[in-house]
Amino acid sequence: MNRLERTDAFRRVVDLTHPIRPDIPTWPGDPPVQFETSATVQRDGYFLRRISMGEHSGTHISTPSTFSDQGPGPDGIAPEALIAPAVVIDSRANAGQNPDYTLTAADLAEWERRHGRIAAGSIALLLTGWHRYWDEPGRFINLGDDGLMHTPGFGSDAAEFLLDERAAAGAGIDTHGVDAGSDAELLVSRRFAQAGGMILECLNNLDRLPATGSTLVIGRLPLVGGSGSPACVLALAP
């Protein structure tokens, strides 16, 4: 038996992080992802690249400083906040029928009827199935003729329920934003930021997690003065 098989806390480690390449989907107007070779084994005896990307590209954390000069950035996240229980709300059926689908408080009530009350301190992860479009940037962003991204997300009433009624620690999603893409005001992001909640976006492999019982371990770059950070997100799953 290996170490994972011997523990009662978890049986699997699931990587929720997308690999980073220059052609990954990026938010419209964000900086491109660029790799530049600075040293080669043949010339310098070692290999080194310079990387450039937006703070909110790839699997990433969005911090309160995105919307407020007084909000903490990625360097201000308390270490204990980087480990949290997770619940997974599977909304693939709804999102598959309607790219503008938004999770409602009623949806959460139905989820709790089947899986139990969402525990305080949990990060609510919305599984829309959008991760399967990661290698199709145009489809992942799904920008319409109206200039809006047509992607699913959390509704405002769901955010209020999670924060006010369940004391959730944050929210995550497999699209490029916890807000529905059609919400140009980013009301859900602003609400979680105001509450100091964790926001995780562009997650991968949420379909490999159970509805309850997983623990997230979140790695981030403590970028001083930043608005967010590329992240490595692992789930310790039962």
Kindly tell me if the per-residue pLDDT of 238 is higher than 90: yes
Domain 3-20+55-237: CATH superfamily is: Putative cyclase (3.50.30.50)
- For 4-10, which contacts have Cβ atoms below 8 Å and span 24 or more sequence positions? 9/215, 9/236, 10/214, 10/215, 10/236, 10/237, 10/238
pLDDT value at residue 3: 41
Whole-number pLDDT of residue 119: 97
Distance of CA 233 to the CA centre of its chain: 9
- Got the DSSP string for 39-51? E-HHHHSS-EEEE
Distance CA 171, CA 186 (A): 14
Closest CA to 66 of 74, 58, 147: 74
Residue 78 has pLDDT above 70, yes or no: yes
User: If pLDDT is split at 50, 70 and 90, which confidence band does 211 have?
Assistant: very high
Whole-structure pTM value: 0.94
* Coil/strand/helix, residue 221: coil
Task: Name the residue ranges covered by the structural domains of the chain.
Answer: 3-20+55-237
CA distances from 98 to 94, 153, 181 (A): 6, 11, 12
Q: Which pLDDT value is given to residue 203?
A: 98
Which conformational region is residue 50 in: left (phi greater than 0), alpha (psi within -120 to 50 degrees), or beta? beta
Asked if pLDDT for residue 205 goes beyond 60, the answer is yes
Q: How much is the average pLDDT of 55-67?
A: 96
Q: Do 25 and 137 touch, CB atoms closer than 8 A?
A: yes
Q: Which two tokens stand for residue 75?
A: 């360097």
What percent of the chain stands above pLDDT 70?
97
Residue 7 tokens read as 């523990």
User: So what's the pLDDT on residue 8?
Assistant: 59
